[in-house]
Copies of this chain bind each other. A is one copy, B any other.
Amino acid sequence: MANLPAPIKDIQFIADEVLDLTAHYKKLGVHDDIDAETFMTIVEEASKFLHENAGPLNRNADEQGCHHEGTSVTTPDGFKKLYKEFCESGWAALDGDPEYGGQGLSYWLQLILGELNTYYCPGWSNYPGLTHGARELIAHFGSDVLKQKFLPKLTTGEWSGTMCLTEPHCGTDLGLVNTSAKPNEDGSYDITGTKIFITSGEHDLTDNIIHLVLARLPDAPKGTKGISLFLVPKILLNADLELDQRNTLGAASIEHKMGLNGSATCVMNFDAAKGFLIGEGNDGLKIMFTMMNGARLNTGIQGLSATQASYENALAYAKDRLQMRAATGAKYPNKPADPIIVHPDVRRMLLTMKAFAEGNRAMAYFVGQQIEIIKHSKDQVEVKRADRLLAFLTPILKAFLTEVALEATDNGVQIFGGHGYIREHGQEQWHRDAKIFTLYEGTTGIQALDLTGRKMLMMQKGQIGEMAELIQNFINETDTPMNQELQNYLDMWQEMTEFITGQAQKNANEVGAASVDYLMMSGYVILAYFWAQLHNSAENNKGQLGADFYNGKKKTAQFYFAKILPRCHALKATIMTGADPLMNIKESEF
């Protein structure tokens, strides 16, 4: 199976030339000791480490998967060594707080590290990924005692973390959570209940696992307002912060899945396990949701990585596989046939993948920049703007990047022909692995409801707010060949936003009926904006990446506007037919 190096030049182009990391950090007044060259050196080192150590494990991780026996879970061969070296080389602590042993590097670099983790080995990526999320949550909301106790080892990666939300009867609808928390006299709580789909709930990579668990206090109100968050360690600590006795919790089983087999997905039983309240009682869901933007951005990036990896494999195959002659006459008359990259339809599939991977990277990094602005900027107007952009873009990014990853990875299989269906080539694995990204951290439907029901209706200035402003400013201030088209689609998007907002007044089902179509239209228009930006940056390039590189970007931008963006016409047409075609049919008539 291919283990092709990550597209460092593409990362560099977006980070340095399109989104100008140097100016970004200079303006923020943080990480400004790191210039673009140093930034890229770190990215290259991370890529090199993972290319050598994670990539080679990917195929076997899928075949071997994880194994459960008693209450322990074994990860695929090589994961233990990889995890150890990942931590020892300091990658686990990359953007960690130096107070707890972290390297204090930027969140953006951490995002790219996550991108590379998934690019080289999706099944591996969630072990460091979830630990990072748990660490951030404790840093934001944990008491000083909890921070002192748990953050140092979560920062170095010696311990790992989980998020325990879902129960058998509730995933989306967390108001139905019924795991219970009974207060003890010492201020701790006894947590009892069953959680499912717990990523890294049990494994053999670390000495301890820190679970963040949603549960209900005895007097809690019903529904989402009565949920609290608890830190529940697998192994309890003694007074000297050493590992002491095992807590009364464990993995009852692991799931057998469509893909992402290297990642242990556990059913966790908590049987009066000792836990510690994080934040205030009944604030659990609010706290979880505060962390959700980062988690959803990471999931979107996982989709991007799958798209990119599948593309790299498909591109290599399309240049190598000889089959039929070009329609306009043999391109390589000395070979028995032409490489399939000469065929228009193969190019259509390759360019679709390329357009999604490279454009969506700009979108993802841009969202990452907003998180950094919120974290570090002292300009409150700017923070507020970033906050609103983040709120608006997060559901789009999460759902759009993962949905198009399914299309892209399917194209990736299709380019291989029948060989794409064979596991040994590793190409179909990208499609199977990618499918979970449209499901976990909130399904596409849930993201779409978040966007239309919450974010769209809540935006203050105009319906699309800051994002529309950004696009409009770009059109006004630049002169790309696609500006007029971009304006047309921006107008269409505005029009649909107003249409749905109007419909929503009349019938509550209109919002849900339009939600996924509207989200996808939003994604396509925003991606068009980023492709126009990429075109603009390629036109005014720094020259460091070579003429072919920049020409490729400009031509892919043109491809995107010609062959992908017009999908908005169909979405507009379906949005405008409203909710009736969905709601008219009775349950008994299905």
Binding site for B on A (CB under 8 A): 166, 169-173, 176, 197, 255-259, 315, 319, 322-324, 327-328, 336-337, 341, 343-348, 350-351, 354, 406, 410, 413-414, 417-424, 428, 431-432, 435-436, 438-440, 443-445, 448-449, 507-509, 511-513, 515-516, 548-549, 551-552, 555-556, 558-559, 562-564, 566-571, 573-574, 577, 579-590
Contact = CB atoms under 8 A, between A and B. Distances in A.
Contact of A258 (B166, B432, B511): B432
8 contacts: A170-B323, A171-B417, A258-B432, A345-B448, A551-B585, A552-B589, A555-B581, A558-B584
A331 B512 CA distance: 16
Contacts of A584: 555, 558
B573 A569 contact: yes
A186 to B, nearest CB: 34
Ranked 3 nearest A-B pairs via Cβ: A566-B573, A552-B589, A344-B512
A580 B347 CA distance: 11
Contacts of A445: 343, 345-346, 414
Contacts of A566: 569-570, 573-574, 577
A559 B573 contact: no
A585 B555 contact: yes
A115 B139 CA distance: 57
Contact of A587 (B319, B432, B579, B585): B319
A327 B512 contact: yes
Contact of A585 (B255, B443, B556): B556
Given A257-B421, A258-B423, A552-B590, A345 B512 contact: yes
Contacts of A166: 418
B324 A173 contact: yes
A513 B349 CA distance: 11
Given A421-B435, A581-B562, A350 B551 contact: no
Contacts of A319: 587
B173 A414 contact: no
Contacts of A421: 255, 257-259, 435-436, 439
A498 B271 CA distance: 70
Interface of A is mostly: helix
A423 B256 contact: yes
A220 to B, nearest CB: 16
Given A556-B585, A559-B582, A584-B555, A424 B256 contact: yes
A210 B515 CA distance: 54
Contact of A563 (B323, B347, B350, B582): B582
B343 A512 contact: yes
Contacts of A590: 315, 341, 350, 354, 552
Given A348-B513, A587-B319, A581 B563 contact: yes
A513 to B, nearest CB: 4
Contacts of A172: 323-324, 417
A324 B241 CA distance: 42
Contacts of A587: 319, 341
B258 A428 contact: yes
Contacts of A508: 327-328
A564 B570 CA distance: 9
Contact of A344 (B171, B346, B552, B583): B583
A250 to B, nearest CB: 20
Nearest to A514: B344
Contacts of A341: 587, 590
